[in-house]
Chains A and B, each alone.
Chain A
Amino acid sequence: MIDFDPSSFGLAHTYQKEDKDEINTLALPSAPQVIYKTLNGPTQVNGGNKLNNFKHGTTTLGFVFKEGILLAVDSRASMGSFLSSEQVRKVIEINEYLLGTMAGGAADCQYWLAYLANHCRTYELKNGSKLSVAAASKFLQGILIGYRNSGLSMGCMIAGTDTTGQHLYYIDNDGMRLKGDIFSVGSGSTYAYGVLDNHYRYEMSLNEAVELGIRAIYHATHRDTASGGVVRVYHIHQNGWTKVHDGIDVVDLHYQFAQQKGLVGDGDEAKQRLF
């Protein structure tokens, strides 16, 4: 999730932040601020850690290339420091021509992407034609703007195919909607961007693109504690989408890549002569 305040853009801001604003600042959660005290425990904000520890922490990525769109995601869900699952499905199959990725609150993403799927189907039945990717992402953006500041947490990508081609949008719980060629979302996105930006070319073949997606996710899971599990890869093309990989364990990838680099795992990778 991109972490900045959109209200600081655009309009000319002449308000000078006074010193006293900073002294009394607490880190407020964005959910409705209610302080509950339990009878037998310390004061807890918003019902305590258990209720607020929705599944966050992830790496998802998507990019457009000449053969369509590639989506690659990890599969780890953490609640605080506990891993609640290593097998989460972070690509949500909205319908046969639209895919959504999940980052942020798992329940929010699951629910609103299912709501979008319902809307797409209703539109298709009423109007006789499929909803475009631009319209579907716009619909979702409208919903999220309505729930702005209420504490929803979603950083999802909508990718799909329609009559004008394959398109990739990034949608945010702040109501941001961006069309783009490369996106990566989540706590491991910085690592994934490093790998993606290094090797991305629009003219890649499908195999090269799949390899790039897998590598980027692997590197993110390697360095980010909140990402891990297995890599799932989807490809969107003019006939819909295909699941390229259902789950490649990142631990297996680690040893595979190490072997490719010629590392044998004897602990002496730097080949330092100590004697």
Chain B
Amino acid sequence: MYIPMNEMLKHFKQDVPTMANITHKSEQWSPYHDNSGTVLAVGIPGAVIVAGDTRLSNGYNIMSRDATKLSQLTDKCVLATAGQYADFIALRKFLQQRLQLYEFQNEVQASTETVAHLLSRELYSRRFFPYYTFNLLAGLDENNHGFVYGYDAIGSYDKMTYGVQGSGQELVVAVLDNQLKGYNKINKTIPQTREEILDIILDCFSCAAERDIHTGDNVEILIITSAGTERLIKPLRKD
């Protein structure tokens, strides 16, 4: 069979690492750092529970053991963010200022749905140089039912009953699917009370701390109800 020479050479040229094939990726400063950690939020009728670990890491270093990942934006909603801490601070600052302005202009605090939309717009405004943040916005809706809005880095969002973000996401979300939705359970007992769900959340963080190097130190929990906000801190593995 006659194969043209240039056709045959194509197969050889790519295998041999000639100088032409080696492309140098020059070392360049990156504006992105992953400070990791895990956050989760669960919404139930009447309350929403938001939890986040307090470890701030940079690669293999721990920068801080008590850095909060949660930020209460209005009486009814809390922002929980995993990813780059600097972007979390910038995003939180923008939201706090914009929501304060909203309150001055409208004489009422923004509803959770409004905040969710605002956050989505702000994230998309940086579509071509994104905030390196993976957010959960947890809050009570107009009927005081707890919901969670989960975001990706550029602002696509969905209303859910529970969400997890961060380095421990894969580890924890599978447990929550099983415990809170009854997926793949033979005896589908779904927890109804706040105490049961709080137990599950603490267990999830213990599990994540065992198997994820970036999660640990303490877990900070905020429970939002129409009556107010309650804050708990529980210890986790510090290694």
Contacts and interface: CB of A to CB of B under 8 A. Distances in A.
A108 to B, nearest CB: 8
Contact of A41 (B59, B155, B160, B169): B59
Contacts of B25: 35, 37, 43
Contacts of A84: 150, 152
Given A38-B33, A39-B59, A85-B150, A107 B156 contact: yes
Contacts of A22: 10
B34 A24 contact: no
B104 interface: no
B238 interface: no
Contacts of B32: 36, 38, 47-48, 51
Interface string A142-173: 00000000111000000000000000000000
Interface residues of B, number: 43
A36 B23 contact: no
A54 B157 CA distance: 12
A88 B149 CA distance: 12
Nearest to A152: B127
Nearest to A85: B158
A264 B229 CA distance: 53
Interface stretch (B13-21, B66-74, B88-96, B194-202): B13-21
B21 A23 contact: yes
A106 B151 CA distance: 10
Contacts of A111: 120-121, 124, 127, 155-156
A20 B19 CA distance: 13
B156 A110 contact: yes
A143 to B, nearest CB: 13
A44 B127 contact: no
Residue of A24, A82, A85, A107 ringed by the most chain B CB atoms within 10 A: A107
Nearest to B30: A36
A8 interface: no
Interface string A105-133: 11111110000000000000000000000
Nearest to B124: A111
Interface of A: 19-20, 22-24, 26, 31-32, 35-41, 43-44, 47-48, 50-51, 54-55, 79, 82, 84-85, 87-89, 105-111, 150-152
Given A105-B156, A110-B157, 14 more contacts: A19-B10, A22-B10, A23-B20, A37-B29, A38-B33, A38-B34, A41-B59, A50-B34, A51-B153, A55-B152, A82-B169, A84-B152, A87-B160, A107-B156
The 9 closest A-B pairs by CB, nearest first: A40-B59, A36-B30, A106-B156, A107-B156, A107-B154, A107-B155, A47-B32, A111-B124, A43-B25
Interface of B: 6, 9-10, 13-14, 20-21, 23, 25-34, 58-61, 83, 120-121, 123-124, 127-128, 130, 132, 134, 150, 152-158, 160, 169-170
14 contacts: A20-B20, A23-B14, A36-B30, A39-B59, A50-B134, A51-B132, A82-B169, A82-B170, A85-B150, A85-B158, A87-B158, A105-B154, A111-B124, A111-B127
